[in-house]
Every structure is written in structure tokens, then in C-alpha cells.
Structure 1
Amino acid sequence: MSREELDYSIYFDASKNAWIAAVSLGFDGAGRRVRLLTPKIKKLREEAEKGIKTKANYRVNDAVEDFLTHGLKGRSLGTITHARSMAENQIKPKIGNYRLKDLRAEHVDLWLDELAESLATKTIIQIHNLLTRAIRMAEKRELVGRNVSALCETPHGQEGRPSKSLTLDLAVAVLKACNGESFGAYVITSLLTGIRPEEARKLLWEAVDLDGRPNAKPPIPPSISVLRADRVGGDTKIKKSRRALDPMRVLRGLRMITKKAGIGNRWKVRELRHSFVSILSDGDVSIERIADLVGHSTPNTTQTVYQHQIRPVIVHGAEAMDVVFGNGDQTG
């Protein structure tokens, strides 16, 4: 709608004993003029000229729900579940009731500052990003004039718990504790191969070769064929492999095993991969070789992500690796 097509007027309303500014947005389906009365005529005029169709009762809750429904197509179940959890726990109860057209940058700033009092910086970044993307979708649909969330800086939050890794002795204890546990095979595979959690959850028994081909030339040892995850799409490349274990079931299974091993139940699944890297590093395996084994495109990724693990905390070299990766007398 162009400036010339808009109909502005200012008139005196005797019933209110006040001058009223009004902007006409055309006619409805019954031929009645749609006229908005507002003291913020400049803003309405700008929105009308841009084609913005602001809904009076379209709230932050609505924008977030629309994004969760339509903006995460093709993402993994874990990503969707995590996004919904952030929305339900941190966005909707606290700023969800604001009408989107009334949301201001100061509202978002105050909300983020409140989150910073109890949450880790990484978590706040994820929550803020979710709100920004939700409003961006509403902006693209011309439901709001601008994305005020994108104007706000993400504050620093609390120190998050750093990832940790198993020492040699703890790794041996965990491997022993896997015996007889339903998630024992999962934990052993993750700890001894360093595959990503999303790769391990999708692993099928048909990919496991327990015998190998010892008579082949050269001999082929027992192996597990791991499909490296497509990090962009958040999924493995083979459709058949998409039958995945539920992440929370896996976490509960791991924590039952670590508790049985006597090392508590606060471990995370990804720390099995960290432990793999740490133990290899302690065994004097080169950073380039470790990067290749864990599927990093460059050694720099391995050094950056696992810097706090890659240091010699156990001085056993190759003997330590033999104990962890295959000495049956030590592991059970």
C-alpha cells in the first residue's frame, strides 16, 4: 500500500473530549472501512506502507509456537526437543504474554539479565537465539515491523560445568561395570571408538562384525562400521539408520553404569568421546591421528574443543592403551 493510497484524518471526538488521529487501512470483506484510532499514527503509517499486517493479539507465545511448528523442519528429534524445552521453561512463562507488536528491546534485555543470574552463558545464547529466530519468522511473514530481539546483546551467564573425561583407572572400572547392563554395549562402543552420541544412537547390530576375516590377506580384524553424522543436517546419511535410541534413555543407561562403577551418576554421554580423546592423547597418539579417528576435519578442532583433555595426566603410553582397548584381564 503506497503513501498516496492511505487515508489519514484528525478529528475531534466530543464523547471523549479529545482530538483523535486515525489511519485508514482500506475496506474489509463487507465493504466497511477499516480505521484504526491511535496516538502512534506515525508507526502505523510506516507499518502500513511496508505492508505489515500486525495482529493486535499476536503474542510472543504465538511467534515461538509457530517457529517450533514450522521453523525446525528437517531437524533431529533431539534438536526439536531441546528447543521446545527452552521455549516452555524460559521464554513462554516469562515474556510469552507480551503482544509481539508491543515487545521492546528493554523487555528482552531485562529478561536476558534475569536468565544470566542462574544459567550458563552457552544456555542463554541458545535461548536468545531461539527467540530471535522466532521473531524473524514473524517478521518475514509481515506480522511484526522489526525484530527487537536481534537488537539485544546476549549477557554473560554463570560458569557452566566443564566437560570432564575418564582417567585410565576410571575407564577400566566403567568397562567392567558394563557387564550385564542393557546399555553396556553402547557405552563400550562409545568409549572405545570415540564416535559421536548421535552416531552411536543410530548404530545397528548389522554394522558390527565380531569375527572379522583372520584368514584374509591381509587379515581383517573385527570392526564396527560407523556412519559419520552429517553435521549440517543433524542426521546420518542413510535413511535406514534413522531408527535412533532416545537420548534420555541412553543418559539414564550410562548413569546406571557409572554409578555401578562407583564414580557417581553425573556423567554425560558426550564425555565418553572426550575420554576417548584424552586417553589417546595420554598414550602419545598424535593430534593428527586423533583428529582422524574422531572425524574432525582438522586437528585444530580437536585441540580447540578438547584442549582441557589433551594433556598427559596418565604416563603409561602404549601400555595404557593396551589395557583400555582390549586386555580382557583388565576389563572383565
Structure 2
Amino acid sequence: MTEGKENTKGRTRKQARRGDGSIYWDEANGCYVGSISLGYKPDGSRLRPSVRGATMKEVRAKLKELKEDYDDGIELGDKYAVEQAARDWLERKLSGRAPATIERKTTEVEKYIIPRLGKAKLKRLTPDDVDDFMVSLTKKGLRTPTITMILGTLRRIIRHAESRNKVRRNVAMLVDAPEGKESRQSKSLTLDQAKAVLKASQGKWIHAYIALSIFTGVRTEESRPLKWENTHLNPVKDETCSCGRVHPENLPPHVVVWRSVRKRGETKTLKSRRTVGLPDFIVEILTAYQVEQRKRRERNGYKSEGIVYVFGTRYDTVMEARNVRRFFRSVTELAGIPGEWTTRELRHTFVSLMSDQGASDELIADLVGHAKTSTTRTVYRHQLRPVITTGAELLDKAFGKGFLDEG
């Protein structure tokens, strides 16, 4: 730095070395001001940003940062806040995503990220700030998976800003999600509880839904959009099947699980696309259900011919997951089964009951659409049994004929 002319207060105006910018005392505002020439703007005018600080050292550091940001293509200044970054991400990166995804991510941003970090300048955000944010989530009583998802969303927000040259690094990548409130472990119904639920649901539409889930292990996002055209209850040669078509050959009763309510109707994985054989018991239930569905819809003035969805709404659209859960909980209460239950635990029940009947890991993995038997073993298996036999008839054997008619 070279010395400049002395001002009226005895302070010396400093002139930096060429390319380092200049620093001077601003008497009116009572602070040091620095400016640096960084070339020209697209319109031809000179690009000469300025910074302020209480000391020359502070201003000199800010000028150095400006030059480094300019040389690296990073947007100049630090006015870009976390809130603006979050809203930019919501607007630009969630376009075309499933409505449920947009709703979930918007809630994470609006309810957690913006209230806690929104005012922070993105360039000034530190790993400690993110750590403190994570700790605040644990104090709110959030579960570990929820905290992990919120951290993942923050990482994506900053990554998006990073790709737009708004910030130099993603500090959220330097932080790990802490352990939150312990998640409720998924569970499965026992054989007696499964029978009780099936009995309690008789006469209701959800009876067929529960039976299909317990006897096939389909995911709730696969059963809700299940279509009659993919449900083959009587695929007998030259006869009209429940799917509405005539099959050229005799086939075992089955459902084709190739669609779900996920984005673009895709199943969770390619392995999830499968054709599942139906035990005699579920064939009887679904056959009776199809007849009753047509009668009920005709009786209430709804479409009764060409019905698309097996478990659709009155308007023949896919039923919302929360409505299915509500019906299922009412049935578990009616059956006298204590605790909180969700429809996904019907899938766990299927895996456990199949295991009880001696099905191999490989068979169960194929039936539930797992790519690896390790997933079946560590996530869905509640009881481990030795290998005895295979096939859809295992649950027919377990439940026995006519159990719904028993007192």
C-alpha cells in the first residue's frame, strides 16, 4: 500500500498496490471504504464494486475475497440469503416432480429451513451454523429419518446455488445428521391377528384390500393404483377373465404388478415389476368383491361398467393413501388389536407369515419384488424359519379353508 494525502482528521488515505484496489476513510459514514476494478460489465461500464469495514484489515480481506470470487466466476457480494436460495431451488428444481414430493419438500423448506437459516447470507453460512440447525431439529423431537431428509434438502439447495456460482462451497456436506427421536419400528400381524383383521373387515371394501396385501405382499403404492385389467382371477382359455379379456391359454390366477403411484407410474425398482400368483382364498374374495363393486356403484349412480381401478374412489380414480390408512386403522380397532398400525405393515405381515410357513428367502424376495434377499432378511423379516417348501399355496395352508365362517 502507498500513502496518500492526509485528510482533515489526520487519517491518511491509503492507495493499494496496482490490482489490489484502494482503501480510504469515509468521514461521513465513519468507516473505511475499499473498491477494486474488476474489468467491465456487459454494457461496457467499469465493474468496480466497493466494500465497507471498521478497520483497514477487514476491508482489505473483503477486497481480496471479491477478487478471488471474480477470478473463480463466483457471483460478487454476499446479499444472497439462504431463504432466497431455498425459494430458487423450490421453483427451479421441483418443476415436474410428483405433487406429493413438491408438498413434502416445500414443507421442509417453509417449516424448518427458512425459519432457522433463512436470514443467513449463503456465503457466510458455516458448518457450525448447520450443526446448530441440526441440533435444533433434535430438540423439536423429530425422528432421525426426518432430520436426514431435511439435511438432504439443505444440501440440494446449496448445491443448486453452487451450480449457479452463488457460493463457493457446500457447507452442508461437511455436516452429518444427528440421531433424533427413535423411529417407530415396523411390525407385523401374527397369524391370529391377521385372521381377526380379515374377519373384522368383512362387508367393507377394505376387506379385499387387506386380503390382497396379506396374501401377496404388494406395496400400498402398488395396490392403490391396481387396475382390473392387471387382475386375472379366472384366466381360463376361451373364457372372459376378470380383466375383461379372453386368454388364449389356461394360466394360474395372478396379478401383474407393473405400476405404482410413483412418478410416471414406475415401480420402486425394476425388480419390483413382477407377476404374483394368487392363492385360492384371495381369488374367492376378489371375485366376490368385483361383483359387489359393480352392484354398489350402480346402486349409488356411479360408473358400473368398464371400472378401471380395483380399489378406486367413487369417481374411479386412485384412492389417497391417507384414506386407506384411516379405514385400516378403524378395522384394527374393531378387531381389538392394540397399538398403532399402518397399511405398509400388511406387507411386513406377508413376509413374516411366508417365513413362518417355511418359504425361502429367495422366494419371498421374488414375491415382494426385492432385488436382494438381504433386504428381505434385514428389513422385512420378523421371524426366521428354515426352508421347507415354496409357492403361493403356503398361506392357503396357514389360514385354512372356511376360517371366516368360524365363530
Q: Match of 1:225, SS? A: strand
Give the structure 2 partner of residue 20 of structure 1: 33
- Structure-to-structure mapping, 1:1-332, within 5 angstroms: 8-25=21-38, 26-27=40-41, 29=43, 31=45, 33-38=47-52, 39=59, 40-54=62-76, 56-73=78-95, 75-117=97-139, 118-213=141-236, 219-227=250-258, 235-236=266-267, 244-264=318-338, 266-307=340-381, 309-311=382-384, 321-322=395-396, 327-330=401-404
Aligned mates of 1:289, 1:331 — CA distance in 2? 31
1:149, distance to aligned residue in structure 2 (A) = 1.0
- In percent, how many aligned pairs have the same letter? 39
Aligned mates of 1:148, 1:106 — CA distance in 2? 9
Q: Match of 1:212, SS? A: coil
1:54-104 CA-to-partner distances (Å, cap 9, x unmatched) read 565432222223323332455444333332232232222222232323322
Q: How many residues align?
A: 321
Amino acid at match of 2:333: K
Contact 1:83 1:130 in 2 (8 A): yes
Q: Which moved more, 1:284-293 or 1:151-160?
A: 151-160
Aligned mates of 1:247, 1:135 — CA distance in 2? 32
Aligned mates of 1:244, 1:67 — CA distance in 2? 30
1:30-72 CA-to-partner distances (Å, cap 9, x unmatched) read 9475522143222222212111125654322222233233324
Contact 1:54 1:101 in 2 (8 A): no
1:149-174 CA-to-partner distances (Å, cap 9, x unmatched) read 11112212221111111111111122
Amino acid at match of 1:311: L
C-alpha change, 1:265 and 1:246, in structure 2 (3 Å) is: farther
Q: TM-score, normalised by structure 2?
A: 0.68
C-alpha change, 1:293 and 1:73, in structure 2 (3 Å) is: farther
1:129, distance to aligned residue in structure 2 (A) = 0.7
Q: Which moved more, 1:59-68 or 1:29-38?
A: 29-38
C-alpha change, 1:48 and 1:311, in structure 2 (3 Å) is: same
Give the structure 1 partner of residue 284 of structure 2: none
Contact 2:230 2:257 in 1 (8 A): yes
Amino acid at match of 2:191: L
1:230, distance to aligned residue in structure 2 (A) = 11
Aligned mates of 2:116, 2:192 — CA distance in 1? 46
1:161-219 CA-to-partner distances (Å, cap 9, x unmatched) read 11111111111122223323343333322222111222122211222223332899985
Amino acid at match of 1:133: R
Amino acid at match of 1:153: D
Q: Match of 1:257, SS? A: helix
Q: Gaps (5+ residues) in structure 2? A: 1-17, 53-58, 240-246, 274-307, 310-316
Q: Which moved more, 1:110-119 or 1:84-93?
A: 84-93
Q: Cα RMSD between the aligned structures?
A: 3.5
Aligned mates of 1:199, 1:6 — CA distance in 2? 64
C-alpha change, 1:274 and 1:24, in structure 2 (3 Å) is: farther
Amino acid at match of 2:68: E
Contact 2:143 2:180 in 1 (8 A): yes
1:231, distance to aligned residue in structure 2 (A) = 8.8
1:325, distance to aligned residue in structure 2 (A) = 5.7
Q: Which moved more, 1:321-330 or 1:42-51?
A: 321-330
Q: Gaps (5+ residues) in structure 1? A: none
Amino acid at match of 1:13: D
